[in-house]
Amino acid sequence: LSDRLQTVFQKLGSKGKLTEDDVREAMKQVRLALLEADVNFKVVKDFVAKVTEQAIGEEVTKSLTPHQQVVKIVHQELINLLGTDNVPLQESRPGPTVIMLVGLQGTGKTTLSAKLALHLRKKGRRVLLAACDIYRPAAITQLESLGKQLGITVYSEPNSKHPPEIATRAVELAKKELYNVVIVDTAGRLQIDEPLMKELEDIDACVQPIERLLVVDAMTGQEAVRVAETFNQRVKVTGLVMTKMDGDARGGAALSVRSVTGVPIKFISSGEKIDLNTLEAFHPDRLASRILGMGDVLSLIEKAEEMYDAEQAKRMEKRLRKGKFDFEDFLSAMHQMRKLGPLQQIIGMIPGLSQLARDEELVSEKQLKLIEAIIFSMTIEERRNPELIKGSRRERIAKGSGTSVQEVSQLVKQFQQMQRMMKQMGKQMGGKGRGGRGG
């Protein structure tokens, strides 16, 4: 039933379906845009193929051109692929929570470990930094000076040659002195090599970090995929952090890495400066727009849709005032409301009501669906003239919508009451003529 509803809904403001030509033409540009953003070519190929197949035959919304419609679908798919908003770091109970950072040299692990320490301290955690990069000259002093600057303790062993042991003793210290979190800053190489991978595996086995974050430089090009695959094979990565997002790079690596590992992007780092302003939670919509790089097309789409919504709302308001509001308008109003997201979600955003949103029975999404089903089973004529709905028509509608005659009668009755009320209100509002946005 809900599939049927969906298609009927889509048809409401439609001007035909996307043809294969529409989609292929628009996809050429999408493909180029993604390659320019340095998304891995294989990932681009798969993505374009999948979305092409999916887009052909989709309805074109009245407010958009076919090209815009394709871009809109692509944008939404990118958002889906990039994944969930704001996935928090996992914590171990009892502690300490161990977080290991891995990645190539220069991607920003050490910088990130300091930023993460700040982030976690702000959440009330006692954080210990463990300096496990013993190869890069001055790596330990780099972390120690960051620690001093921020007032965060750094555990290091200047003479040790065994990072897994350093990490182990850091965790022991954390247990003894009741630190909540240990962030293990590891060494990187310019390229993946076996000794590095073995060492990370050893650290992983010794301290069993609950989070193994792969740090990825946003400027990484095509090779991002292979790097991510290798790290993920050796230490099962639990999250991604994209760094250097303050640069010009469109950040296609994020899409590549996300799509081959399937693990969530947890943070975006955007600056050399160590403060909380340069460490952001991840928002897939922003990154999707950046990777697609079609800012102007995307804002055109948004404007066109807003204008369309405003027009619809105005028209509806006029009909409301004249007391001409019928079942068709009602459907259309529901459709507009739906654009805000599922009812459940909308209610979830209202403070105080979020508890309610969790209880599916209380929020009557079901009830709404029932109403929709009934309206969909009416003929156009009946929707426009609800007073026609009597006797055998009620029976037919009930059968068609899988409801009972009583339910149909009740809806019609309620609707007619609502119409009368609206007529009254319309008279009271009189000719003030203020065009607000309806929902």
Q: Binding residues for ligand GDP, per CB under 6 A?
A: 103, 105-111, 188, 243-244, 246-247, 269-272
Q: Of Mg ion, ligand GDP, none, which one does residue 269 interact with (CB within 5 to 8 Å by kind)?
A: ligand GDP
Residue 113 found at the interface with Mg ion (CB under 5 A) = no
Residue 403 found at the interface with Mg ion (CB under 5 A) = no
| Residue 103 annotated as lining a ligand binding site | yes
In terms of CB distance, is 269 or 312 closer to Mg ion? 269
In this structure, the strands spanning 127-132 and 181-186 are parallel
| Residue 341 annotated as lining a ligand binding site | no
Query: What ranges make up the beta strands (E) of 62-126?
Result: 97-102
Residue 186 found at the interface with Mg ion (CB under 5 A) = no
d(CA 103, CA 304): 43
Residue 336 found at the interface with Mg ion (CB under 5 A) = no
In terms of CB distance, is 137 or 431 closer to Mg ion? 137
Applying CB under 5 A, among 61, 110, 312, 419 the residue interacting with Mg ion is 110
User: Which tokens is 106 given?
Assistant: 């220069």
Residue 312 found at the interface with Mg ion (CB under 5 A) = no
In terms of CB distance, is 133 or 407 closer to Mg ion? 133
d(CA 302, CA 290): 16
155: β partners: 130
Distance in Å, CB of 116 to ligand GDP, minimum: 12
Query: What ranges make up the beta strands (E) of 161-286?
Result: 181-186, 211-217, 239-243, 265-269, 279-281
d(CA 402, CA 373): 8
| Residue 244 annotated as lining a ligand binding site | yes
| Residue 141 annotated as lining a ligand binding site | no
User: Which tokens is 121 given?
Assistant: 């301290």
In terms of CB distance, is 147 or 386 closer to Mg ion? 147
Report the SS3 class of residue 61.
strand
Q: Of ligand GDP, Mg ion, none, which one does residue 69 interact with (CB within 5 to 8 Å by kind)?
A: none
In terms of CB distance, is 64 or 139 closer to ligand GDP? 139
Q: Could you tell me if 96 and 182 are in contact, meaning their C-beta atoms sit under 8 angstroms apart?
A: yes
In terms of CB distance, is 94 or 158 closer to ligand GDP? 158
Residues 6+ apart with CB under 8 A from 104: 188, 189, 190, 191, 192, 217, 227
Distance in Å, CB of 215 to ligand GDP, minimum: 6
Q: Of ligand GDP, Mg ion, none, which one does residue 105 interact with (CB within 5 to 8 Å by kind)?
A: ligand GDP
d(CA 161, CA 159): 7
| Residue 258 annotated as lining a ligand binding site | no
Report the SS3 class of residue 280.
strand
Q: Is the peptide bond before 342 cis (omega within 30 degrees of 0)?
A: no
Q: Of Mg ion, ligand GDP, none, which one does residue 211 interact with (CB within 5 to 8 Å by kind)?
A: none
Distance in Å, CB of 107 to ligand GDP, minimum: 4
d(CA 267, CA 36): 23
Residues of the shown chain interacting with Mg ion in the complex, contacts defined by CB under 5 A: 109-110, 133
Annotated binding site for GTP: 103-110, 185-189, 243-246
Annotated binding site: 103-110, 185-189, 243-246
